[in-house]
Amino acid sequence: MNDAPPPALRTESVGFSTEGKQLLRDVSLAVHGGQLVAIVGPNGAGKTTLLRLLAGDIQPADGRIYLDERPLSDYTPRELARRRAVMPQSSHLPFLFTAREVVRMGRAPWEGERGEREHGAQLAEHVMGLTATREYAPRAYPTLSGGEQSRVTLARVLAQETPILVVDEPTAHLDPRHQHLVLELLHELASEGAAIVAVLHDLNLAAAYADRVAVLHRGELVCCDAPHTALDPDVLRPVFGLDFISQPHPDGDRPVLIPLPRRALAEPTSPHTGADM
């Protein structure tokens, strides 16, 4: 990894606190082009805070954030919008824009470029194909189901055509088939060179699709490594207060995690005992 290119998105000892509560402490995370990095952790671990910092919605109290090795705060909104897109969990829209109109909004940062009219229209159709949303294209966005809205939002984000993606729980409202469709798509984009960082709730989806998994616990980065290492039951036990069994997936070498909830309360957070496995 010595002559690897610099990371596309990087935090350097970032901390954030609000109302006297330290939400993140000393988090150093790097996301490289070609990688899908999943952020996992229990509720309140600081996943959303880290994502909002990476998106530039909030400023870190300590440390710095770099995009292409340039401080995030140095970018104008438009420069940033051409380098990275942010997918929120859900977008509420009070007006009856069609799904296609919403997707086309993703082209806003490129407005005024030569040939944008044709290219933007073509790209919007293309990404609606990728996200399986073309059949809703003429329907009003607010009348779509949560899962449909979520995929339309992903299409809008992809239409922005950026090499860096910051994604907040892209699978939250989706059925299993579409969860896999979306993560396969993100994985493929990463393998084509995109730098993607995504908060994922489902550990098995992280295990199946992420190149690296960042585990957050009480505002600190416990581990950021390949799924096999980061999603080891010994790592997860103190973080989630839950025992897991890890098995290889029948279709490949990715791990599958099976939680053992009956042992959940036996040993709340005492680390690395691994007692009766």
Residue ranges that bind another protein, judged by CB under 8 A: 55-57, 76-78, 80-82, 85-86, 88, 90-98, 101-102, 105-106, 108-109, 111, 138-140, 142-143, 145-146, 160
Q: Which is nearer to another protein, 92 or 262 (CB)?
A: 92
Smallest separation, CB 156 to another protein (Å)? 8
Q: Which is nearer to another protein, 166 or 235 (CB)?
A: 166
- What DSSP state is assigned to residue 193? T
Q: Which is nearer to another protein, 65 or 215 (CB)?
A: 65
Q: Which is nearer to another protein, 19 or 251 (CB)?
A: 19
Encoded tokens for 276: 């009766």
How far is Cα 193 from Cα 189, in angstroms, rounded to an integer? Answer: 7
Q: Which is nearer to another protein, 51 or 231 (CB)?
A: 51
| Helix (H) or strand (E) run with residue 228 in it | helix 227-230
Q: Which is nearer to another protein, 94 or 252 (CB)?
A: 94
Smallest separation, CB 210 to another protein (Å)? 23
CA nearest to 205, candidates 264, 254, 158, 155? 254
How far is Cα 146 from Cα 160, in angstroms, rounded to an integer? Answer: 21
Smallest separation, CB 35 to another protein (Å)? 21
Q: Please, which residues have CB within 8 angstroms of residue 70's CB and are 6 or more apart in sequence?
A: none
- What DSSP state is assigned to residue 101? H
Task: Tell me the residue type at 104.
Answer: R
Three-state DSSP class for residue 10? strand
Smallest separation, CB 225 to another protein (Å)? 29
How far is Cα 170 from Cα 210, in angstroms, rounded to an integer? Answer: 13
| Helix (H) or strand (E) run with residue 142 in it | none
Smallest separation, CB 87 to another protein (Å)? 9
Smallest separation, CB 270 to another protein (Å)? 38
